[in-house]
Amino acid sequence: MPSTAWIFPGQGSQRVGMGRTLAETEPIARVVFERVDEALGFRLSDVIFNGPEEELVATRNQQPALLATSTAYFEVLKQRGQLPEPMLVAGHSLGEYSALVASGALDLADGARLVRRRGELMEEYGLGGMIAVLGLSESVLHEVATASGVEIANINAPGQITFSGRAEALERASQLAREAGARRVIPLAVNGAFHSSLMLPVVEGLRPLLEETPFFRPNVPLVANVDARLLTEPDDLRAELAQQITASVRWVDVIRRAMEYGVSHFFEVGPGKVLSGLTTRIGRDLETAHAEAVLRD
């Protein structure tokens, strides 16, 4: 059997109705959604299953919704014996919370409260925005960032990078990227410049709750978004969740670090298959699977 890493998606993988069939047919999934509802003090599950979409995509709802749904998929797959044992876990931005819940480092209810607060703070301090740029090398994009005053937010795959910044800087970056030969420049539907220095007030606002939340040693290491280190100590995990709010999500480095440790199979645990697609662009020989396809079989 190939060595496996579990990977957990972040914002952008949500859709109205995700996890509803699982909750209707699998008691263990229903318990997950009920626990998140109880932790938050309202029925987030109604928004997840029925919408409206504008409520689900609100950052304060989207983040705990993805945590709940990814955890529901995880619990069903584990109960059915359809989830290979991992060597490592990783998550894309918000997905790090799901990875920590799945690896035993964070209680689900505590994780739900953390990401709900994280989303509220991101809405409150939502300055600027983000764009995705396709088809340029990382070195050229660093030049564009320096010249325009934006920051690299996500290094998702070769030729797929996102910028964060204020509106005028993003406009300048879009122009420079097109002039440099970018295949596409896409404004992202987010309410702030995530993973940039503009999110520093979010770090300060979330820090007290992070500090009082219990963290435990995970069953397997987490590959960190910020620098691709393997983390197992509770204080390091807590620090990672603070740092990743303003730091770039270095997904290419995360996957390559996992490969260095012998991982060749990546199992995406959550709605959609965004990370599976990114992962095979990083390593063409890598094997991927995603929860929705496995549960349909």
pLDDT in tens, 219-230: 999 999 999 999
Which CATH number covers residue 277?
3.40.366.10
- Are residues 245 and 172 located together in one domain of the fold? no
Question: pLDDT at residue 289 above 90?
Answer: yes
pLDDT digit string, tens, across residues 225-256: 999 999 999 999 999 999 999 999 999 999 99
Distances (CA, A) of 233 to 17, 118, 207, 216: 36, 22, 17, 7
Q: Once rounded to an integer, what is the mean pLDDT over residues 34-41? A: 98
Q: What is the pLDDT of residue 1?
A: 61
- Are residues 112 and 136 located together in one domain of the fold? no
pLDDT digit string, tens, across residues 130-150: 999 999 998 999 999 999 999
- Are residues 142 and 230 located together in one domain of the fold? no
Of 141, 164, 187, which marks where a domain is finished?
187
Which CATH number covers residue 183?
3.30.70.250
Q: What is the pLDDT of residue 297?
A: 55
- Are residues 25 and 51 located together in one domain of the fold? yes
Q: What is the pLDDT of residue 59?
A: 95
State which residues form the domain around 59.
Answer: 3-125+196-296
User: Which positions are annotated as active-site residues?
Assistant: 93, 195
- Are residues 172 and 210 located together in one domain of the fold? no
Instruction: Provide the pLDDT confidence category of residue 126 given band limits of 50, 70 and 90.
Output: confident
- Are residues 157 and 94 located together in one domain of the fold? no
In sequence order, what are the beta bridge partners of 267?
6, 289
- Are residues 11 and 87 located together in one domain of the fold? yes
- Are residues 172 and 217 located together in one domain of the fold? no
Instruction: Provide the pLDDT confidence category of residue 296 given band limits of 50, 70 and 90.
Output: confident
**What average pLDDT does the chain have?**
96
Total count of domains within the chain: 2
Instruction: Provide the pLDDT confidence category of residue 45 given band limits of 50, 70 and 90.
Output: very high
What does pTM read for this prediction?
A: 0.96
Cα–Cα distance, 64 to 283 (Å, whole number): 30
Q: What is the pLDDT of residue 241?
A: 98
- Are residues 57 and 177 located together in one domain of the fold? no
Cα–Cα distance, 140 to 138 (Å, whole number): 5
- Are residues 95 and 140 located together in one domain of the fold? no
